[in-house]
Amino acid sequence: MPKIDVSQKDLCNLIGRKLSAEQLGDEVLFAKAELDEANGDALKIDVKDTNRPDLWSAEGVAREIRAKYKPGMLKYDVRKSSFVVNVEKSVEAVRPYTACAVVKGLKINDTVMSQLLQLQEKVAGTFGRNRREVAIGVYDLSRIKFPITYKAISPEGIKFIPLDYKDKMTPKEILEKHPKGKEFGHLLAGKSMYPIFIDFEGEVLSVPPIINSDHSGKVTEKTTDIFIECSGFDKKFLYTALNVLVAAMHERGGIIYGVKVVYGKNSSITPDLTPKKFRVSVDYINKVSGLDLNVKDVIKLLEKSLYGATIKGKNIELSYPAYRQDLMHERDVVEDVLIAYGFNKIESVIPKLITKGGVSKEQYFVQNVSDIMIGTGFQEILSYTLTNVENIFQKMETKGEAVELEKPMSANWSVFRAWLLPGILEFLSKNKHVEYPHSVFEVGNTILRDNSSTRAKDVTKLAAAVSATTVNYETISSYLDALLKNLGIEYILRKNTHPSFAEGRSAEIVSGGKQLGIIGEIHPAVLNNWTLEKPVVAFEIDLEEVFELLRKK
């Protein structure tokens, strides 16, 4: 799902091979990705896995492809250091945790810069749920004096120059005025204290998850050493995000240093890049894949997917890079094995199963109803099930309660239709210039409120209408008669009044003591509401009721 922009040259350099766009198109499949576009050096890659942020950058894609040529687990060295971040208790109520790292010796050019920014944005955006779960700050290490403190302060308790600004502002002012403050301010809404990273000399690093300071929060091509922090609510998320970032920087020659994060009496060194452990059985892999692989084959394929693998009885002990957090079940390893094997090298076998096909009796019945209507010369139409209150109630001079969407894309499509006739009239109103007479019908789903577990039920209905210079009740009642007689339904028409129909020109359709629907001449007021200029006669019936009558017979 995440789409990333990469440079072909850069990608090839990272892989260590010169590959054409076409070749890359095949290779990116190993990274569960697809090459969407190749425009000169600029490639657009669609990475499918929303659960693998480690693949959302040129570095990550390249690492996965390179493993096919140089298989085996990658080891990451986290060097010891004296960098310390003290976390004060005050952040507990706002944004309680952080995970930090220092990376030195980076060679940053334009391409590297844009890749790092893109990765940071994708990780905080998609994986970090628009900074809610994970906010990321990257800083120029040379501008920071350790130890750093992570604490909460009052929104007006400090002033500093935010990134890309000239004047000092309080965090409160940033939320009100700075574009990033406006975009992400809702994440701090209602908080009496805001979180802040501040260094030993009192220089502000950032107000997460909003904005970095101009002082240290700017990374340029001259920067070689950086400090990174991730903040949020769940250490598991933060560690994954941090590991993804430092592993990508490692691809750019960065040397990773640990940072001691202190919570009162407890402390831990981040990042923790110790390989994670998992176990799979060859039998399970063969069962799921349908292949007949032996242990050696499996280990080879696993190494092509960056696993470290050792045999332990009938099982394989796995170690895998700490930037991955997607392994929940043996099944997840099977897919990696199959991708390394190559989907297109696997024989496809149509399952030989004897099963009985069919559609429901209701479905056959509904098709019969359509066939009869078509036989009487009506054109079938198809409308959306979403509509609006004005159409289904106001224009029809009726009232009612429909199933309603929260935050519809458009007010035009904000409720589900409770009956079909409004859709028919809407259709007629759009075709006034088309040769008359118009005889149209729709068989479709309506959604009505009820007391079931979903508080709504689907009811299939039929509506049909004729519009022409001269039509009347008799026109439509003979079509209704043709329909019901051909279905073998005896019925009576009982005079009624309905606000959508002209007085004295409408009736209920009744059979077996049940009301099946309504028939009549559309009220001229309703015609006016739809700006229709010729008379319309119509009926609508509940096909579920009709089906029920036929079932009882």
Partner 1 sequence: MYALTEEGIKYLKHGLPEKRLIELLKENNGLLMRDATKELGGEFAIALQWCKKYKCITVTDGKLALAGDMPRETKHQESALKEIAAGREPDPDVLQILIQRKLVEKESEGIVKQAEKFVGKEITNLNTELIKTGMWRKVKLRPYNVEAHGKKIYIGKQQPYNRFLRSVRRKLVEMGFQEMKGPTVELEFWNFDALFQPQNHPSRDWTQTYSLKSPKEGTLPEKVLVEKVKATHENGWTTGSIGWGYKWDPAKAARLMPRAHGTALSARTLANGPTIPGRYFAVSRCYRPDIIDMTHGVEFNQTEGIVIDESLNFKNLLGVLKEFAVEFANAEKVKFLSDYYPFTEPSVQMSAKHPQLGWVELGGAGIFREELTKPLGVDVPVIAWGLGIDRLAMFKLGINDIRNLFSQNLDWLRKQVIV
Extract the tokens encoding 22.
């076409």
Q: For residues 391 and 414, what is the distance between their CA atoms, to the nearest angstrom?
A: 11
Report the nearest approach of partner 1 to the CB of residue 311 (Å).
20
SS (H, E, C) 242-261: HHHHHHHHHHCCCEEECEEE
Residues 6+ apart with CB under 8 A from 385: 416, 417, 444, 445, 446, 447
Told to check if 478 binds partner 1 by CB under 8 A, we report no
Q: Does 276 bind partner 1 (CB under 8 A)?
A: no
**Window of 97-105, 106-114, 174-182, 440-448 that interacts with partner 1 by CB under 8 A:** 440-448
Q: x/- binding map, residues 278-297, to partner 1, per CB under 8 A?
A: ---------xxxxx------
| CB count in 10 Å sphere of residue 202 | 10
Total site size for partner 1, rule CB under 8 A: 92
Give the nearer residue to partner 1 in terms of CB position, either 347 or 490.
347
543, 460 contact by CB (below 8 A): yes
By C-beta, is 338 or 522 nearer to partner 1? 338
Q: Which of 222, 265, 356, 399 touches partner 1 (CB under 8 A)?
A: 356
Stretch binding partner 1 (CB under 8 A), from 209-217, 310-318, 439-447, 529-537: 439-447
Report the run of H or E that residue 394 belongs to, with start and end.
Answer: none
Site for partner 1 in 330-349 (CB under 8 A): 330-332, 334-335, 338-339, 343-344, 346-349
CB of residue 96 to partner 1, shortest distance in Å: 16
Residue closer to partner 1 by CB (options 213, 243) is: 243
368 binds partner 1 (CB under 8 A): no
Which 3 state secondary structure label does DSSP give 125?
Answer: helix
Give the shortest CB-299-to-partner 1 separation in angstroms: 19
Report which of 236, 234, 241, 244 is spatially closest to residue 328, judged by C-alpha positions: 236
The reply to whether 407 sits near partner 1 by the rule CB under 8 A is yes
Residue 449 interacts with partner 1 (CB under 8 A): yes or no: yes
Rounded to the nearest whole angstrom, what is the least distance from the CB of residue 108 to partner 1 in the complex?
A: 28
Three-class SS of residue 182? Answer: helix
Smallest gap from residue 450 Cβ to partner 1 (A): 10
Residues in 193-252 that interact with partner 1 by CB under 8 A: 236
460: number of Cβ within 10 Å: 19
Check if the beta carbon of residue 54 is closer than 8 Å to that of residue 244. Answer: yes
Of 258, 274, 331, the residue nearest 82 (C-alpha): 258
Q: In the bound complex, what is the minimum distance in angstroms from residue 99's beta carbon to partner 1?
A: 17
121 binds partner 1 (CB under 8 A): no
Q: Taking CB under 8 A as the rule, does residue 126 contact partner 1? A: yes
Please give the residues from 129 up to 188 whose contact with partner 1 meets the rule CB under 8 A: 129, 133
Smallest distance from partner 1 to CB 27, Å = 12
Q: Does 123 bind partner 1 (CB under 8 A)?
A: no
Residues 6+ apart with CB under 8 A from 251: 14, 59, 62, 63
Which two three-digit tokens encode residue 103? Answer: 């990376």
Q: Is the Cβ of residue 25 or residue 147 nearer to partner 1 in the bound state?
A: 25
Pairing of strands 148-153, 84-87: parallel
In this chain, which of 44, 48, 104, 276 binds partner 1, going by CB under 8 A? 48
Stretch that binds partner 1, among 215-223, 406-414, 490-498, 538-546 (CB under 8 A): 406-414
- By CB under 8 A, the residues from 19 to 38 that bind partner 1 are 29-30, 32-34
Which two three-digit tokens encode residue 502?
Answer: 């002209």
Residue 127: DSSP 8-state:
I
Instruction: Give every CB contact of residue 69 below 8 A, 6+ residues apart in sequence.
Output: 15, 16, 17
- The one-letter code for the residue type at 41 is D
**Contacts (Cβ under 8 Å, ≥6 apart) of 115:** 6, 10, 57, 58, 59, 248
Contact call for residue 430 and partner 1 (CB under 8 A): yes
